[in-house]
Amino acid sequence: MKIAYGWGILLVAALSAAGQSNQELKAEIEALKQGQAAILKELAEIKKLLAPRQQPAPEPFRPVELRLDGAHPLGEPSAKVTMVEFTDYQCPFCRRHAQQVLPNIIADYVKTGKVRYLVREFPLTQIHPRAARASEAALCAGDQGRYWEMHAKIFSEQNRLGDEDLVAHAEAIGLDLDRFRGCLEEGRHRARVEADIAAGAKAGVAGTPSFLLGLTDPVDPNKFTATELLQGALPYPQFRAAIEKLLGPR
């Protein structure tokens, strides 16, 4: 702006030397001022466009009900707190949770009778094309009482999720292979996986891993009202804080 102003003074001096009238000088100065105003306005618009946009605050989580029929819980039905994980077997963050955080939750809260832990399937099929099939395999293993063994096996072999790989995993954990193959080939649990995805989306789950927590219904353990949503591969202290809050003073 100082450069433009200095140029304006030189212009005035030059015009005066040329014998222009005061009226002509005023017109030239006014045009210069208008040009400067236009430049300032344009710079302000550019600054506004470049400024970081303020993101709207996320809406607070609202309690949501969901059914837990057909799940494979860890822990006692009478546990005060229920925790439901929505997982994707190709998700590296889900693997991290399963291998690094879940063992602590099990040791401190599941085995002590304070928390009942369940998994719902939430394969993100657009980026993880084998995740839904892996979920079906875990549920097929659950038919033989080995859901959690398959859960751990799949995460330990996350890069081997072809159908024959899943059969190999089933053999490694001691399943009846004919029964497992039949379950997988007929897609027995495909509708269940789709229902889990729909239930998770309705509850506000947008990615994996996600966790719903709430108090266990003392009358019907399969009826669950989630009062808190945690999302992401969070460190163990965050889960501990959420669980302790629900357990209350002791």
Q: Coil, strand, or helix at residue 181?
A: helix
Burial class (CB in 10 A: 0-12, 13-18, 19+), 233: middle
Please say whether the beta carbons of 29 and 9 come within 8 A. Answer: no
Number of neighbouring beta carbons within 10 Å of residue 188: 14
Q: How many domains, the chain?
A: 2
Same domain, 29 and 109: no
Tell me what pLDDT residue 5 has.
45
At 80, the pLDDT band (50, 70, 90 cuts) reads very high
Q: Residue 57: inside a domain, yes or no?
A: no
In a domain, 137, yes or no: yes
In a domain, 213, yes or no: yes
Domain identity same for 125 and 27 = no
Residue 87 lies in a domain: yes
pLDDT band of residue 26 (cuts 50, 70, 90) is: confident
Distance (Å, whole) CA 97 – CA 166: 21
In the DSSP assignment, the letter for residue 138 is H
Write the CB contacts of 85 (distance below 8 Å, at least 6 apart in sequence): 97, 117, 118, 119, 120, 209, 210, 211
Residue with tokens 């990615």: 207
d(CA 74, CA 84): 10
Each residue of 98-150: pLDDT tens digit?
999 999 999 999 999 999 999 999 999 999 999 999 999 999 999 999 999 99
Confidence at residue 19, expressed as pLDDT on a 0 to 100 scale: 54
pTM, entire model: 0.77
Q: What is the span of the domain harbouring residue 95? A: 64-247
Q: Is residue 198 part of a domain?
A: yes
* pLDDT tens-place string over residues 128-138: 999 999 999 99
Amino acid in position 232: G
My answer on whether 43 and 79 are in the same domain is: no
Residue 104 and residue 208 in one domain? yes
